[in-house]
């Protein structure tokens, strides 16, 4: 069973924030394939949509504790780490840039760190979605030093939303490439 995990925080107040891009991608993917019934599964600490081949997962543990949900699901479905695709925001990429990779350091992303710690390996696929950073991305913060935790919980400003919308479509395309043609094809197109 392939686990497609989007990182985000539960609750309406986090909708459309930078940290919730993983949730947004899964919501758009589910809508694209008319998979509209998310079920809350307390034993997995997640909202899920199950198909015969895939499990779409929105952990409800908050981003920084996502590993708890991922580990429970991987154990239950006997999914190896290489059967897991993690979709998450990435500060180190410019807004709109997507990179697909297998393994690697968490680069300070606490949600990714949590998943690595819970699985005991970094050997899962990641679709990294660029949200920019404090100094380069948001003109309202240019030149300021802000707390990263605050930045990732901010909403995209109106002029950024069209870039985000395009990036979400591209993330779905990257995921489809991973699933249909494999990691190498997705990496060749999204790196």
> Rounded CA gap, 103 and 112, in Å?
10
Is 141 considered catalytic here? no
Q: Within its chain, how far is the Cα of 162 from the centroid?
A: 19
> Rounded CA gap, 176 and 100, in Å?
12
Q: Which of 19, 88, 109, 141 is catalytic?
A: 19
> Rounded CA gap, 58 and 20, in Å?
10
Question: Three-class SS of residue 84?
Answer: strand
> Rounded CA gap, 29 and 39, in Å?
16
Residues annotated as catalytic are 19
């Amino acid at each position: 069973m392939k686990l497609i995990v989007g990182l985000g925080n539960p609750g309406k107040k986090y909708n459309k924030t930078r940290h919730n891009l993983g949730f947004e991608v899964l919501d758009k993917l589910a809508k694209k394939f008319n998979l509209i019934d998310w079920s809350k599964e307390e034993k997995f600490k997640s909202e899920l949509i199950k198909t015969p081949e895939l499990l779409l997962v929105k952990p409800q543990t908050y981003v920084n504790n996502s590993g708890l949900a991922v580990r429970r699901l991987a154990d239950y479905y006997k999914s190896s780490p290489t059967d897991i695709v993690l979709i998450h925001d990435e500060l180190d990429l410019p807004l709109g840039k997507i990179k697909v990779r297998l393994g690697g350091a968490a680069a300070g992303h606490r949600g990714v760190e949590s998943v690595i710690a819970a699985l005991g390996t970094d050997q899962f696929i990641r679709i990294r979605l660029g949200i920019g950073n404090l100094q380069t991305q948001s003109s309202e913060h240019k030149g300021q030093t802000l707390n990263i935790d605050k930045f990732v919980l901010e909403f995209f400003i109106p002029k950024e939303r069209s870039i985000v919308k395009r990036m979400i479509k591209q993330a779905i395309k990257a995921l489809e490439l991973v699933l249909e043609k494999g990691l190498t094809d997705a990496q060749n197109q999204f790196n």
